[in-house]
């Protein structure tokens, strides 16, 4: 019988071993399939906007959901100024639990896993929204998420060319260096305007917690797909409002996106389409070659559920986890105090 007081724990070291053993491209493809499968059963899940505690320097959030059999939550922060102190902007961990007993089934790092699931979600959604045969993507903001986005779009969508821009040229050089060896033609651009020239897909992934205009209206031509993932909290946006008014907008969970996404700039009743409806053929994604599609992504708990579910399945086959003695396991369920006394005597 399984010792239920021992909880599998995937550390940062084991997560890296797991990802590298499988390969980042394959990991991204398989993870995107788990996310897509869960979006197809979207209506089964408990859904709520994430619980957020905002401060002047950032935000700490809890992201819970359940499909009735399995429960998951993620703890995640977002502190843009952390990099000045040599710290990560985003850190996270997550828990997967059995609904029938309430016992945790998995505890995992999710700093790396969140980067992977964010990119996998973006690339999965682009299958439904991006122009047919898109080959060129601009990435504006070349920080911690940029390489994950590039590899996921290469592996899942067939992107061949990248056009990179960041206000910090060191970040762009870092991204180019990290992607060397992948089958990508990479161009370092002098401005955001330069980066979007000829791009089929535009990914914006900046970190500053403020209203910003990374893309102006004149920079966005007909037929592109915009993958906007940087605007993810109240008061933080990347796109000029006029771009939103020209675009067909697709979101994860409207009650959350209207608080945190690009659409916080619009009226509360502005029409948006939930992407799960496109995936299940209840709504239309890309309609024609001239349409501007916008995925206003803020990240949602079901994506983390999918990522934890995927990792939980992987470690059963491949290992790369430790068992944590995390839950009390008395000889009889009502004798927790006796368990404590016996430990003293031992």
Active site (catalytic) residues: 232
Report which of 89, 90, 86 is spatially closest to residue 75, judged by C-alpha positions.
90
Q: Which stretches of the chain are assigned E, i.e. beta strand?
A: 6-10, 51-54, 59-66, 70-78, 92-98, 104-109, 136-140, 161-165, 185-188, 201-204, 211-215, 225-228, 237-239, 248-251, 273-274, 293-296, 322-325
CA distance 109 to 183: 29
Question: How many DSSP H helices and E strands does the chain contain?
Answer: 11, 17
Task: Map residue 322 onto helix, strand or coil.
Answer: strand
Supply 210's token pair.
């403020």
At a CB cut-off of 8 Å and minimum separation 6, what does 21 contact?
318, 320
Task: Map residue 3 onto helix, strand or coil.
Answer: coil
DSSP symbol at 131: P
User: Considering all CA atoms of the chain, what is the largest pairwise distance in Å, rounded to the nearest integer?
Assistant: 76
DSSP symbol at 225: E
DSSP letters for 284-321 = ----STT--EEEE----HHHHHHHHHHHHHHHHHH---
- Which residues are 296's β-sheet partners? 228, 251
């Amino acid at each position: 019988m399984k010792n239920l007081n021992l909880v599998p724990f995937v550390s940062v070291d084991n997560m890296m071993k797991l990802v590298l053993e499988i390969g980042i491209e394959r990991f991204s493809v398989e993870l995107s399939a788990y996310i897509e499968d869960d979006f197809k059963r979207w209506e089964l899940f408990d859904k709520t906007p994430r619980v957020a505690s905002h401060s002047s320097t950032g935000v700490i959030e809890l992201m819970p959901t359940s499909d009735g059999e399995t429960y998951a939550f993620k703890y995640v922060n977002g502190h843009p100024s952390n990099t000045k102190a040599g710290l990560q902007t985003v850190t996270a961990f997550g828990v997967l639990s059995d609904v029938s007993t309430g016992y945790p089934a998995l505890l995992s790092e999710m700093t790396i896993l969140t980067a992977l699931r964010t990119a996998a979600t973006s690339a999965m959604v682009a299958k439904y929204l991006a122009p047919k045969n898109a080959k060129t993507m601009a990435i504006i903001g070349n920080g911690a998420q940029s390489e994950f986005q590039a590899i996921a779009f290469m592996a899942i969508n067939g992107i061949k060319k990248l056009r990179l821009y960041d206000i910090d040229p060191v970040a762009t050089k870092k991204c180019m260096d990290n992607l060397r060896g992948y089958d990508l033609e990479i161009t370092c651009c002098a401005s955001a305007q330069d980066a979007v020239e000829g791009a089929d897909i535009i990914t914006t992934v900046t970190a500053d917690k403020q209203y910003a205009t990374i893309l102006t209206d004149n920079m966005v031509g007909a037929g592109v797909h915009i993958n906007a993932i940087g605007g993810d909290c109240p008061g933080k946006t990347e796109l000029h409002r006029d771009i939103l008014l020209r675009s067909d907008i697709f979101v994860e969970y409207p009650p959350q996106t209207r608080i945190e996404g690009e659409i916080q700039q619009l009226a509360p009743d502005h029409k948006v389409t939930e992407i799960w409806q496109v995936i299940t053929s209840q709504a239309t994604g890309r309609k024609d070659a001239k349409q501007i599609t916008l995925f206003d992504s803020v990240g949602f708990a079901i994506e983390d559920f999918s990522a934890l579910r995927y990792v939980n399945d992987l470690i059963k086959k491949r290992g790369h986890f430790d068992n944590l003695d995390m839950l009390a396991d008395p000889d009889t369920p009502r004798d927790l105090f006796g368990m404590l006394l016996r430990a003293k005597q031992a």
